[in-house]
Chains A and B, each alone.
Chain A
């Protein structure tokens, strides 16, 4: 049980860090009004945020499985 909590916390940390970096990339792109900023926003910020959300959702599923076992 303790190990699963540690795993959950680790995944939450990873999700949070991915989201923070993704949001920072988005903020920079919004301030940097150049055509390349749009590409960076979608391909950089968008992917990082999507990855963060996926890791967070996966951590919920994994935690749920660990609890049921």
Chain B
């Protein structure tokens, strides 16, 4: 970030030279310098800036910076292992600093792009619209997002409940039975119940 900001300041100062003394471009060297300063440097700064913002948009802190997401952030600290999101977050089954993005991105082709596009819609709703209360997903949660990590894992493939019915795992893998809404792992964020639960204070 500091490197990028330094590059932006350097670019702005050098552009300032061309603004105050455009005659500098009369010489051959001046023309080459002008190309570097008025074309290459701003392009590099913009590309790096957008990449930096895209990376920042995957952070948990970024997602929870909207007021409407506060209760979902609190649900990550519920002191109850049956809360799916809290159990994943607190036990670092997902990266704690990218908790929202890890579970709510789409692990299909262009999934990251779709997540960003949905993010733009979130921003629009936050500032110009009215968010749903309670917040709901655009489409039912796809098992693909769970299987991205759990597929092939011993606890998933050989789990007693998962193997009790031989038809269960194929149906889960084919997204015919939902992991989170078919009565198995259906306590996810449950933000409506947060007033009745204990909270973990976090790692010290």
A positions within 8 Å CB-CB of B: 8-9, 12-13, 15-17, 19-20, 22-24, 26-27, 29-31, 33-39, 41-42, 45-46, 49, 52-53, 56-57
Contact = CB atoms under 8 A, between A and B. Distances in A.
A61 to B, nearest CB: 13
Contact of B120 (A39, A41, A45, A57): A39
Instruction: Describe A's contact surface by its main secondary structure.
Output: helix
A30 B22 contact: no
A37 B34 CA distance: 29
A38 B123 contact: yes
A27 B50 contact: no
Interface residues of B, number: 38
5 contacts: A19-B12, A20-B16, A36-B127, A41-B49, A52-B42
A24 B42 CA distance: 11
Contact of A16 (B18, B52, B54): B18
Contact of A13 (B1, B22, B119): B22
Contacts, number: 101
Given A35-B123, A38-B123, A49-B42, A13 B53 contact: no
Given A30-B5, A42-B50, A35 B126 contact: yes
Given A26-B45, A30-B4, A42-B50, A15 B38 contact: yes
B110 interface: no
Interface string B25-50: 10000000010001100110110011
B11 interface: yes
Contact of A23 (B45, B56, B61): B45
A59 B120 CA distance: 35
